[in-house]
Amino acid sequence: MRTVSVHRAVIGRRETRVVRPSPSSTLTGLVAVDPFGAAALVAEFPPVWLRDNCPCSECRDPSSGQRLFGLEELPAVLGVSGVVPDGASVVVRFTDGHRGVFARDWLLANRLDGYDLDPRTQDAKVLWRPAELALDRATFTWRRFQDDPDHRARCLDSVLRLGFALLRDVPVSPGAVLEVAAGFGYVQETNYGRLFDVVTRPDAPNLAFTDRPIAPHTDNPYRDPVPTLQLLHCLANEAAGGDSGVVDGFHVAATLRADDPMAFAVLTRTPVTFRYAAPGVDLVATAPLIAVDPRGRIRGIRYNNRSAQPPRLPYPEAVEFYAAYRRLATLVASDQLRFRLDPGDCLVFDNTRILHARTGFAGIGSRHLQGCYADLDAVESAWRAHRPQGTFGG
Ligand code: OGA
Ligand code: ZN
Ligand code: ZN
């Protein structure tokens, strides 16, 4: 029997497991010289972990790979009674009489050495400040997106890593934004329709439909869940003004955390209510401006000065909240990447991270954008499916 320390020494130093390991990171060779002993295996994987993840055809449906039992069906106390190496596999006997065969490669790939990387958190992103990001790096063309799988993958990657992509040469025709959205996932219809026209109109129910400037914001914070992907396609932009801007909300939040951790904490724990009311519609959602994952990593920004409601907080919390909110607002205002959308340009962005803005406009020339919403999980899925090694079991 091997001791834990011997086993660990052979396995090598633990490292954080990431969702997309490169093929060269497998440690098959090392394991081949270290047949798992029962004590070593159990030291590495709790018996219930192994039993729950047994790949046999009694435990998993062979065609879908999906699990066929619930954890409550296993005995509360479960042990491993024997481990026998068998070539590239290890045969494990459990105290409930079950027998599981585990491939060594699989055990190594799933060793308990950290957490899966949540692709929605800051850890999976490239945070940027405007001065350091050339717009070209996030610029793609719709024709190549359709014809060239690598161009498309790089564009999806830009949305996932940088938070946005600028697609040029989209046809300047009404409704084209829906075709672009289909390249990224599935359109989410809202009270604004499958798509919405950003044009000035009288009695506008939203500042977006006026010629006023719009400060950096995320869309639809009054919705739960918020649409996680947004597209804005330019059909005309002849007005004076009407320039665009984007802000990396994750970078801004990370800066706030570094500069003023207390203010950051206040914004992660203070619920803010957003509301949008128009004839036949009254949408309300309450959530903090900065969402973090269970490990405290930045995972979402919900920020919109137009639709934020009066905070109902105890007096000291209201004071503390406004001080923190103002610090965030100041960072947001100074961190914009500015550019101009021309007809045929379509901005595609992560609405849980990237704040978007426009300057006010005036004059006789027309300005017309069409927008729609979709979701980021489909972008992740398309990006992963493009990769040859991008399949996951189960
Ligand atoms: C919007 C919006 C920006 C623009 O419609 O959500 O923010 O450039 N529009 O008009
Ligand atoms: Zn089994
Ligand atoms: Zn908007």
Does any domain span residue 114? no
How far apart CA 41 and CA 377 sit, in angstroms, is: 35
Last residue of a domain, one of 58, 86, 109: 109
Domain boundary among 53, 76, 109: 109
Q: Which ligand is nearest to the CA of 304?
A: 3
Say how many Å lie between the CA of residue 87 and the centre of ligand 2.
19
| 280 three-state secondary structure | coil
> What's the pLDDT at 9?
25
- What CATH number has the domain bearing residue 25? 3.30.2020.30
Residue with CA at minimum distance from ligand 1 atom 8: 358
Nearest CA to ligand 1 atom 2: 208
Same domain, 308 and 381: yes
392 belongs to a structural domain: no
Please tell me the pTM assigned to this model: 0.88
The domain of 176 spans 122-386
Domain final residue pick, 76, 109, 142: 109
Q: Which residues of the chain have pLDDT under 70?
A: 1-39, 388-394
The CATH number of residue 157's host domain is 3.60.130.10
Question: Are both 48 and 137 inside the same structural domain?
Answer: no
User: What is the count of structural domains for the chain?
Assistant: 2
pLDDT given for residue 215 in this prediction: 97
Over residues 195-216, the pLDDT tens digits come to 999 999 988 988 999 999 999 9
Q: Which of 196, 198, 303, 306 should be mutated for ligand 1, with most atoms under 8 A from CB?
A: 198
116 found inside a domain:
no
- Look at residue 25 and tell me if it is in a domain: yes
Q: Are 302 and 286 in contact (CB under 8 A)?
A: no
Q: Whose CA is nearest to atom 5 of ligand 1?
A: 208
Nearest-atom index, ligand 1, CA of 242: 8
Give me ligand 2 centre to Cα 67, in Å. Answer: 10
How many beta carbons lie within 10 A of that of residue 291, not counting itself? 18
Do 285 and 166 share a domain, yes or no?
Answer: yes
In the chain the first and final C-alpha atoms are separated, in Å, by: 32
Q: What are the backbone angles phi and psi of residue 262, rounded to the nearest 5°?
A: -65, -40
Position 364 scores a pLDDT of 72
